[in-house]
Amino acid sequence: MFEFKDFTLLNKTVIPGETKIIELQIATLHTMTELKIPVIVSRSIHPGPTVLFSAGLHGDELIGVEIVRQLITKKINEPNIGTIICIPLINVFGFVNQSREFPDGRDLNRVFPGSANGSLASRFAYRLIKDILPLVDYVIDFHAGGKARFNAPQIRIEFENEALEKMAKAFDPPFVLYSKNIEGSFRNACDELGIQYILFEGGKSLDINAEVVQEGIEGSMRFLSSLNMLNKKFEVPLSNHNTIFIESSSWIRAQYSGLFRSDVRYGDYVIEGQILGKITDPYGAVEEKVIAPNSGYIINENQGPIVFQGDAIYHISTQLISKNE
């Protein structure tokens, strides 16, 4: 049972029934301008768990920013019980520069748990760990694919972790992909702190796709409903798909450089030997087929018009797990 406790974040108290924007200062620019990140905290009048929705660890991954923004503007972040914390945009530097990294060239999602005296990215990771995470029970962190590489909407979790699998099932995405934690990642830091964390991937960087955004919003609502946290003014969105659980997957890489045309779409099921696309030269002399090495689901599609030899062009499932129970 959850009991009401004082909820104080960055020396600011949020009382039951209140929504408050609290600013987390992360740096002072060379112009002497203070750079602050808004943290939106909304508490119910009823006690319950605390959920963090976060996005923008990589500043060029805009889809997650849009998902969390809509959770706020539609007031989905006002919980029936407990507390919801929203951080729509963590890496403001990358967002401004349309870049993945911090100004120090580091990937914020590889420096956790950070250091109070380290690089700029490391210091900010440290602030998230020390100031935000001690208050949190669950994290849903939103990400997107790299440049031109479009991820089918999916949740990523560790294998054989029943608590995270329960979270993923409640979210009910098109795909659940089992993958190991990466050292230095936000995901790994949450795991080491005993915080239940799932990672949503969908779309590609520097792009906002309405279909993926809707999957993120509706999945978040289903997850909140599973905790009795979804505000009663909302209906629980019904899913129109059966989640596919993927135990293993592999990348299909371009064997040639040239113009690339894909004949399949992310999320498609393809058959071994099927033609997935073609790589051609600009002059009409060469046309090379890209063949599926096995049957499986396309969970990432390179949407770039030009590829180089060795580029990842498709991510395909190689082994599925039955989750019909």
Residue 324 has pLDDT above 60, yes or no: no
The pLDDT assigned to 1 comes to 62
Residue 325 has pLDDT above 50, yes or no: no
In terms of phi and psi (left: phi > 0; alpha: psi -120 to 50; beta: otherwise), the region of 82 is left
Give the domain 8-226 fold. Aminopeptidase (3.40.630)
pLDDT, tens only, 256-288? 999 999 999 999 999 999 999 999 999 989 999
Q: Dig out the tokens for 46 from the structure.
A: 């009823």
In this prediction, residues 236-240 reach a mean pLDDT of: 90
The pLDDT assigned to 141 comes to 98
CA–CA distances in Å: residue 33 to residues 70, 117, 131, 154, 247? 28, 21, 22, 38, 47
2 pLDDT band (50/70/90 cuts)?
low
pLDDT, tens only, 90-123? 998 889 888 888 877 889 999 999 998 888 888 8
Q: Dig out the tokens for 169 from the structure.
A: 């099932």
pLDDT, tens only, 184-211? 999 999 999 999 999 999 999 999 999 9
Bridge partner residues of 269 (DSSP): 297
Q: What does the domain layout of the chain look like in residue ranges?
A: 8-226, 254-318
Residue 15 has pLDDT above 80, yes or no: yes
The pLDDT assigned to 26 comes to 76
In this prediction, residues 7-13 reach a mean pLDDT of: 89
Q: Is 90 helix (H, G, I), strand (E, B) or coil?
A: coil
258: Cβ–Cβ under 8 A, 6 or more apart, which residues?
279, 280, 281, 282, 286, 288, 306, 307
The pLDDT assigned to 103 comes to 77
The pLDDT assigned to 4 comes to 64
Comparing 32-36, 95-99, 287-291, 311-315, which segment has the lowest mean pLDDT?
A: 32-36
Residue 133 has pLDDT above 50, yes or no: yes
In this prediction, residues 227-251 reach a mean pLDDT of: 94
Q: What is the DSSP letter of 304?
A: -
Q: Among residues 272, 258, 269, which one has the least CA distance to residue 313?
A: 258
Given the candidates 2.40.50.100, 1.20.120.160, 3.40.50.300, 3.40.920.10, the CATH classification of the domain at 254-318 is: 2.40.50.100
- Rounded CA-CA distance 107/201 in Å is 17
The pLDDT assigned to 198 comes to 98
Residue 140 has pLDDT above 50, yes or no: yes
| Bond into 113 cis (ω within 30) | yes
pLDDT, tens only, 34-70? 778 999 999 999 999 999 999 999 999 999 999 999 9
Residue 27 has pLDDT above 60, yes or no: yes
